[in-house]
A = this chain, B = another copy of it.
Amino acid sequence: MKKIIIIGGGAAGAKAAAKAKRLEPKDHIELYTRTNEIAYSLCGLPYFIEGSVDDINKLIVRTPEQFIENGIEVFLNHEAQEIYPDRNSILINGNQIFYDELILALGAHVQLPNIENISADNIFTLRSLKSGVDIKKITKESKRVLIIGAGYIAIELIEAFIKNGLEVVVVEKNDRVLSDFDDDFSFAIQDIILNKCENKIELVLDDYITRFNVDENNKFKSASTKEGKEIFADFCVLATGAKPNVELAKNAGITLGPTGAIKVDNKMRTNIPNIYACGDCAEKYCIITRQPTYIGLGTIANKEGRVAAINAVNDESFENFDGVLKSTITRFFDYTISKTGLSMQEAMIYQDKINLEPVYSTVTKNDKAGYMPNVQKLTIKLVADKRSGELLGAQALGSVDNIAQRINTVTSALQSRLTVEELLHLDLAYAPPFSSSIDPILTAAYKLKELINK
């Protein structure tokens, strides 16, 4: 019988606890979380603010009571303060607790710019149920919101706020939204944003906030930008990206990787025996570049939590987690934008380091047989390495229905390290309501193959 302690109750921690208990019911599993929130869906918060999810409690995947029913001890509002690896113990709320295995699922926080008055009452981050409730409340009382950042969460929040009748100003330091995408996709989604939100949106790009201006009650009133703008709003949301929570680990001598997240091997082990890390606090390994990378995503946290638990329960396990593609997708009104693997721009960055010669093809094509009703367009861009012929990544933009699962056809191919040649022989299921007889993915692959053969 082992005692397994898990720090953190997000997707990774919750999964690790459930999996460990299921694998070895006799093991003693304790789950500690800093707040009173546990096992909830972060990704659902924008839809709660939007209003399509009417009750914040629906975002709770598993309640403390459900954990307890499964034999997992849950400690809410318990802050892990220090790890003593030599003694196999950890200080939590002033008490030293011993462990056989320690799983760190510390999560991430919003990367805060170092700006005066950033702690004003009506400047929010979106990382908890409470923050969702607070933002929802102020949304109802407000006319205008400032969003800092223009990544996925920002895009989802724009829709949420616009649907609630607000005016939205977005300030983004890059020259475009969704800068993980190639700029042709960023610009396309920008056009969609401007088109969908009409005169209710202002995109301030290539600029950043230098000062938040507050009133005597520490209430945010406006923000000044590097380029000299002053932007007034009733409240502000910082959607400036996630940073791993690593202080606890770092102080205990646990090695961080080059991305600043906790370095782990493919069994989710840190450099210190019996200590695992998983989820948003842990560094990722990119299957394509074979380099360390970072992304905070619930789906990955889930997989890592599972693998950490399997290995914590059984040191001899063969369960590995071999890395990520950083696949992402989001809905914006009736559009969907998605990505898997590398963009062309990302591939260019890696070309010397890992000896790539990136090429791409972009195809805009009907999503159904051209003669069917309600035909819509979709755009797919594939990136590959001219030298090896291997696929490196894909980006797709289209309607809610026609892109949603299509990106994952490429994800599967990419994770299998298919070449473009192999990709274009995929025996994809086809019927006129679902695709053109040569699927847009295959058309893009044909185009790309011609470039590779040149």
A residues near B (Cβ < 8 Å) are: 11, 41, 43-44, 47, 52-53, 58-59, 287, 297-300, 302-303, 321-331, 336, 338-340, 369-373, 400-402, 404-413, 415-416, 418, 422, 424-434, 437-439
Contacts and interface: CB of A to CB of B under 8 A. Distances in A.
Given A409-B411, A434-B404, A437-B43, A371 B428 contact: no
A422 B415 CA distance: 9
Contacts of A433: 47, 331, 400, 404
Contacts of A426: 408, 411-412, 415
Nearest to A430: B299
Given A53-B371, A58-B371, A372-B53, A429 B408 contact: yes
A429 to B, nearest CB: 4
Contact of A299 (B11, B298, B438): B438
A407 B303 CA distance: 21
A415 B437 contact: no
A190 to B, nearest CB: 19
Given A41-B371, A52-B372, A437-B43, A327 B413 contact: no
A415 B161 CA distance: 43
A373 B422 CA distance: 38
B427 A52 contact: no
A339 B431 CA distance: 12
A303 B425 contact: yes
A438 B302 contact: yes
Contacts of A405: 402, 404-406, 408-409, 434
Given A52-B372, A59-B371, A372-B52, A408 B428 contact: yes
A58 B411 CA distance: 34
A361 to B, nearest CB: 16
Nearest to A152: B431
A369 to B, nearest CB: 6
Contacts of A43: 369, 430-432, 437
Give 7 closest A-B pairs by Cβ, nearest first. Answer: A416-B416, A405-B405, A412-B412, A58-B371, A327-B429, A329-B429, A408-B409
22 contacts: A11-B437, A43-B369, A43-B431, A47-B433, A53-B373, A299-B438, A303-B424, A303-B425, A321-B425, A323-B427, A324-B427, A327-B427, A329-B429, A330-B431, A338-B429, A400-B433, A405-B406, A407-B429, A409-B411, A410-B412, A415-B426, A416-B418
